[in-house]
Amino acid sequence: MNPLKRLLQSSAEQQHPQIHMTWASHTLSKSITRAGVFLRKQIWLWPIAAVVILSVLGFFVRQSIESTIKDNVKSGLTAIVQMETEMLRKWFEVQESTTEALANDAHVRDLIYAMIGTDQSKEEGVSLSEAELQREIDKELGPALEAHGFIGYLLVNKSKQVVSSSYRSLDGQQDIPEYDGFLTRALGGETNVSNPFPSVVMLKSSDGKIRSGVPTMYACAPVRDESFQVIGALAVQIQPEREFTDILQLGRVGASGETYAFDSTGMMVSNSRFDDDLILLGLLADQPGSRSMLQLPVRDPGDDMTAGFRPGVRRAELPLTKMAASAINEGEGVDVEGYRDYRGVMVIGAWIWMADHNLGVTTEVDVAQAFRPLVILQRAFLTVFTLLVVSAIAIFVFTIIVARLQFQAREAAIEAQQLGQYTLDQKLGEGAMGVVFKGHHSMLRRPTAIKLLSADKVNDASIARFEHEVQITCQLTHSNTIAIYDYGRTPEGVFYYAMEYLDGIDLQQLVDKYGAQSEARVIHILTQMCGSLFEAHSNGLVHRDIKPANVMLNRRGCEPDVIKVLDFGLVKAVDQTGKGSNENTMAGTPLYMSPESIQAPMTVDASTDIYAVGAVGYFLLTGRPVFEAKGMSELCQKHLEEVPVPPSARKGVKVSGQLEDVIMSCLEKSRAKRPQTARDVALLISKCQAAGTWTVEDGDRWWGRHGRASTTPRDSASQSEAPVMEQTMEQAMEQTMEQTNPNASKPPQQ
């Protein structure tokens, strides 16, 4: 709060005895008197020194923050454009596969043989008139076209003559220039999808009018005879403003970010998010339904047209933007220093050239939006320095007042930290939805971890999710699952709940600090994890975020190495919907996510947690995650397709074949090949030769050696609760890359 405002309100606040604001008894005159003492001691020189020191520090801090922001923005832009490119590639593959399947359909192929007039049609005995063949082809292809969202088709022979089409005006035409590119590739034996181009026939435009020149696309596949020779081509017509444009629109960031595609001439082949503004700027025709697709070349006007600038030459004579020229000539790139886009606005961006489709994809964000935090920081520094220079004495006095106000305000805040029967002692951590304090019950004096819903997150959805986490965890009573003591809401509306206080170390910290663990200890840990998860699964609950950081190693009740499974904030009730986190959203941590949680998040079940148990066991044994990758997309692809390297194949790792078999079976891509329950995993582990060899004495010796130097106070809420796809791209990439480059493996701990 503003200290001057607090000073003006001091008399009013004195009327509330429950908060002992002792600073109110000190008058402004006493503060000035004390300031005079400081002045006589020449402490007034400190503000001048502060100007110099803060100026130097400010310069280096600004450089550091600017570099950090640029690196984060660069990573985010690159991740977005890579994701968009991969989505487009998958979409192209689906269209090509669908078209090829239509061209290879036996009945359709017989009709095509007859229409083209091959010898094969004579052998098949097809003897229909051309009009009858046309109707048969329409009848055969019609349902398939409608099912896949195609709006028409073309059938051509080897001479590129249209022998059948959804548009009768095309029948008999040959060597249509607009169709030459994709037809040539298809007649050469290559299934392909064209880039958007102006339609030759009359189509319904976005404004509902029937006219030619409407953006269209074709997926084209070769038609082969029995000897596998190409005799013609089948092309199906795609409306680009449906899926093609929709995919690119997913890459919009903030108020100015956009993702769009362009061809080798620099022509935009998708829609801009600024179409209405482009009409006002004169870059698009002022008519109903005017769109940038196939109408706007990606060229640099030379200055900001949104600020009133107009180029002195025709747009065709302008150079391509830096991004478009680099993509077409060099391929992939990223620029966070700033360049002009097709409006002349300074932007930053990342781009990829898809050479196999002759198409470029870019994601751009206005510099003003991307670096707004930096601008705010610069202004803040300038304001502070100006105030310091204007009056060293005034700033010094103000500093004294502020220091006293802040000190007394902190005292008052500490005095007021009372939630029902619980007293807050110290802050432990902060998650995506709440803050965690160490506290104690006022009467029982039992140490307790207390989680409060953050004030800036208070809304119906966040409260529902918070209550869901409490209710879910309360259903679980296993000794290896964190226990909930109480929950409630203060008169001020602060929602909280109290749980057991843990002062151990999580498994991520265990491996990071002490290296890979012995086989006996890993078996001891995994067995307890399976017990906790089996109870949850038996109640129809799936954790969905099992990872080393969500499993705590503790000493409880004089027992060493007691496991507590934390963070049920992402838990999914298999028989319920509409509670907690979005069940149709990919949730979890990328390093430990099962293939099905990546491909179909809504189908996750107990097998998903079993996969994660295997990944955690692998990490404990080897000190490294199952897969290591340079990016999110690559990591997910490895979970989907790549077979893990057995732990015994890792350098310096010794593990029995029995335990390795259990770990690898948990990491099977197919759910049917994994152990079916967590108890099955525990039973398999119990048959290992090293099972039960980690004794209480071993645990006591380990904790005796490391003691409290190993412990880190934690509870389930101190971890980030937000699902990965709900985090920003930068956060998801940072978290993944930080853990895929661990320290050198350390010797197993006994």
The pLDDT of residue 358 is 92
Which residues sit opposite 440 in a β-bridge?
A: 423, 447
CATH number at residue 650: 1.10.510.10
- For the segment 278-286, the average pLDDT, to the nearest whole number, is 90
- For the segment 557-577, the average pLDDT, to the nearest whole number, is 72
Least confident of 64-68, 278-282, 324-328, 524-528: 64-68
Distance CA(657)–CA(646), nearest Å, equals 10
Same domain for 62 and 169, yes or no, is no
Task: Give yes or no for a contact between 97 and 90, defined as CB atoms under 8 angstroms apart.
Answer: no
The pLDDT of residue 485 is 85
Distance CA(102)–CA(96), nearest Å, equals 10
Residue type, 694: W
Task: Give yes or no for a contact between 667 and 616, defined as CB atoms under 8 angstroms apart.
Answer: no
- Using pLDDT thresholds of 50, 70 and 90, give the confidence band for residue 67: confident
Q: Which of 208, 238, 268 is where one domain is finished? A: 238
The three-class DSSP label of residue 500 is: strand
CATH number at residue 122: 3.30.450.20
Residue 523 belongs to some domain of the structure: yes
Task: Give yes or no for a contact between 450 and 436, defined as CB atoms under 8 angstroms apart.
Answer: yes
Task: Give yes or no for a contact between 399 and 384, defined as CB atoms under 8 angstroms apart.
Answer: no
Q: Is the pLDDT at 626 greater than 60, yes or no?
A: yes
Distance CA(557)–CA(179), nearest Å, equals 78
- For the segment 648-655, the average pLDDT, to the nearest whole number, is 90
Q: What percent of the chain has pLDDT over 90?
A: 42
Same domain for 396 and 537, yes or no, is no
Q: Tokens standing for 750?
A: 């006994």
Task: Give yes or no for a contact between 613 and 532, defined as CB atoms under 8 angstroms apart.
Answer: no
Q: Which of 335, 370, 405 is where one domain is finished? A: 370
The pLDDT of residue 63 is 81
For residue range 504-515, list pLDDT tens digits in order: 899 999 999 999
Residue type, 711: T
Least confident of 198-212, 426-440, 449-463: 449-463
Q: Please give the residue range of the domain that contains residue 46.
A: 26-74+374-416
Q: Is the pLDDT at 335 greater than 50, yes or no?
A: yes
| Better pLDDT: 462 or 739 | 462
The pLDDT of residue 31 is 47
The per-residue pLDDT of the chain, averaged, comes to 80
Same domain for 640 and 622, yes or no, is yes
The pLDDT of residue 26 is 41
Residue 97 belongs to some domain of the structure: no
* Bridging pattern class, strands 346-354 and 359-366: antiparallel
Nearest to 377 by CA among 59, 47, 698: 59
Q: Is the pLDDT at 474 greater than 70, yes or no?
A: yes
The alpha-carbon radius of gyration of the chain (Å, integer) is 33
Residue 489 belongs to some domain of the structure: no
Same domain for 191 and 320, yes or no, is no
Question: For residue 676, which phi and psi values (nearest 5 degrees)?
Answer: -80, -25
Helix 606-622 and helix 507-514, axial crossing angle in degrees, nearest 10: 20
Q: Is the pLDDT at 500 greater than 70, yes or no?
A: yes
* Bridging pattern class, strands 551-556 and 559-565: antiparallel
Q: Name the strand (E) or helix (H) holding 46.
A: helix 45-103
The pLDDT of residue 9 is 45
The pLDDT of residue 343 is 94
How much is the pTM? Answer: 0.46
Q: Is the pLDDT at 708 greater than 80, yes or no?
A: no
Same domain for 694 and 545, yes or no, is yes
Q: Is the pLDDT at 413 greater than 60, yes or no?
A: no
Task: Give yes or no for a contact between 238 and 351, defined as CB atoms under 8 angstroms apart.
Answer: no
Same domain for 140 and 259, yes or no, is no
Same domain for 390 and 313, yes or no, is no
Distance CA(107)–CA(100), nearest Å, equals 14
Least confident of 37-46, 124-133, 412-421, 588-597: 37-46
The pLDDT of residue 55 is 75
For residue range 722-738, list pLDDT tens digits in order: 333 333 333 444 444 45
Q: Is the pLDDT at 66 greater than 70, yes or no?
A: yes
CATH number at residue 355: 3.30.450
Same domain for 127 and 221, yes or no, is yes
**Which 3-state string (H, E, C) describes 609-666?**
HHHHHHHHHHHHHHCCCCCCCCCHHHHHHHHHHCCCCCHHHCCCCCCCHHHHHHHHHH
The pLDDT of residue 153 is 92
The pLDDT of residue 2 is 42
Same domain for 347 and 385, yes or no, is no
Most confident of 246-250, 282-286, 367-371, 678-682: 678-682
| Burial 702-714, CB ≥16 within 10 A → b, else e | bbeeeeeebbbbb
The pLDDT of residue 116 is 79
Q: What percent of the chain has pLDDT over 70?
A: 77
Q: Tokens standing for 502?
A: 């843990």
- Using pLDDT thresholds of 50, 70 and 90, give the confidence band for residue 687: very high
Nearest to 169 by CA among 138, 201, 195, 198: 201
The pLDDT of residue 399 is 65
Distance CA(223)–CA(102), nearest Å, equals 10
Most confident of 39-43, 60-64, 314-318: 314-318
Task: Give yes or no for a contact between 670 and 696, defined as CB atoms under 8 angstroms apart.
Answer: no
Task: Give yes or no for a contact between 549 and 719, defined as CB atoms under 8 angstroms apart.
Answer: yes
Same domain for 412 and 508, yes or no, is no
Residue 437 belongs to some domain of the structure: no
| Better pLDDT: 588 or 263 | 263
Residue 455 belongs to some domain of the structure: no
Same domain for 392 and 364, yes or no, is no
Residue 3 belongs to some domain of the structure: no
Contacts for 639-644: CB closer than 8 Å, 24+ residues apart: 639/590, 639/593, 639/594, 639/595, 639/598, 640/595, 640/598, 640/599, 640/669, 641/669, 644/618
Question: For residue 34, which phi and psi values (nearest 5 degrees)?
Answer: -65, -35
Same domain for 409 and 319, yes or no, is no
| Better pLDDT: 673 or 418 | 673
Nearest to 711 by CA among 439, 481, 437, 502: 502
The pLDDT of residue 724 is 34
* Structural domains counted in the chain: 4
| Better pLDDT: 137 or 90 | 90
Residue 126 belongs to some domain of the structure: yes
Q: Which of 217, 238, 259 is where one domain is finished? A: 238
Residue 10 belongs to some domain of the structure: no
- Using pLDDT thresholds of 50, 70 and 90, give the confidence band for residue 456: low
